[in-house]
Amino acid sequence: MHFIVRRDFCFIFYQRRKPLIKQDVEINERIRDRQVRLIDETGAQVGIVSTQEAKYRAERKSLDLVKISPNANPPVCKIMDYGKYKFDMSKREKEAKKNQKASELKEVRLSMTIEQHDVETKAKHARKFLAVGDKVKVSIRMRGRQQTHANLGIKVMQDFFALCEELAVQEKKPTAEGREIVMILVPKTAGAAAAKPPVPQSPVPAKPAAPQGAPPK
C-alpha cells in the first residue's frame, strides 16, 4: 500500500509601495529635442537654437548642456559645469541639514518660597537652554492657600525673567492656570539680539533772540 502525502503551500503576497523614481537630469547627448531655449554659462539668454548648436557651444567651452526646464516649450537648457553644480548643491544640502535643529521645550520649576540663590541657579540653566535655541517653560506649583496669593508667584516669575531677559522674550507671560503659574520663554532672534540702540541726535542750536528795540532786518 502506498500513501501519497500532499503538502499544501500557502503563498502570501505583500503589496509593496512602488519606490519613488527620481527623474535624472538630462544632459549633453541625452537631450533629444530638436530645439531648445538656450542660456549661456554667464546667465545670458541666447534664444531658441537647435540642440546640436547648443551642444556645440557647450563642448567648445568644455562645459555641459543641462536641461533645466523640461516642461517648457521648447525646453530650457543651460550651459554649465554640471559636476561642480552637483557638488555645490550637495554641499548646500549638507550645510542646511547641519544648521537645522528641532527646538525643544525645556522646563524649569520654581516655587513661591524659592531662595534667591536657587532662582539664580535655575536661571543659569534656562540661559543655557535659550542659548542653543530651545524654548523654556517656567512653572510654579501652588499648594494650599498659595492659590489665593498667585500675585506672589507672578512676582517670582518676573524676577526670574529679569535674569534671562538678555537672551529671551516672553512668548507667554506669567499666567495662573488652575494650581500652576506658567510662563514660556523663547530665544531672541538674531536680529533682535543684534539690534543697536538708536544714536541720539545732537540738538539743533536755537537762534539767538534779537535784542529788544533792534530794527527788523
Q: How far apart are CA 123 and CA 168, in angstroms?
A: 11
pTM listed for this prediction: 0.44
Residues 36, 110, single domain; the answer is no
Domain-embedded: residue 199: no
Residues 78, 141, single domain; the answer is no
> In terms of Cα–Cα distance, which of 115, 106, 94 is closest to 137?
106
CA dihedral 146, 147, 153, 155 (to 10 degrees): -110
Encode the chain (217 residues) as per-residue pLDDT tens digits: 444 444 444 444 444 444 333 447 888 989 999 999 999 999 899 999 999 999 999 999 999 999 998 988 999 999 999 989 888 888 888 877 766 656 678 999 999 999 999 999 999 999 999 998 889 999 999 988 888 889 999 999 999 999 999 999 999 999 988 899 999 999 987 434 433 444 444 444 455 555 555 555 4
In this structure, what C-alpha cell is assigned to residue 72? Answer: 517648457
Domain-embedded: residue 217: no
Q: Which of the listed residues 71, 92, 113 is the one where a domain comes to its end?
A: 92
Domain-embedded: residue 4: no
* CATH code, domain carrying 127: 3.30.110.10
* CATH code, domain carrying 33: 3.10.20.80
Q: Which of the listed residues 43, 58, 92 is the one where a domain comes to its end?
A: 92
Domain-embedded: residue 198: no
Residues 55, 121, single domain; the answer is no
**Enclosing domain of residue 77:** 28-92
In this structure, what C-alpha cell is assigned to residue 172? Answer: 507667554
* Dihedral pair phi/psi, residue 187, rounded to 5°: -65, 145
Total of domains in the chain: 2
Q: Give one DSSP letter per residue of 96-119, joined into a string.
A: HHHH-----EEEEEE-TT--HHHH
Q: Read off the DSSP letter of residue 121.
A: H
Q: Which of the listed residues 92, 121, 147 is the one where a domain comes to its end?
A: 92
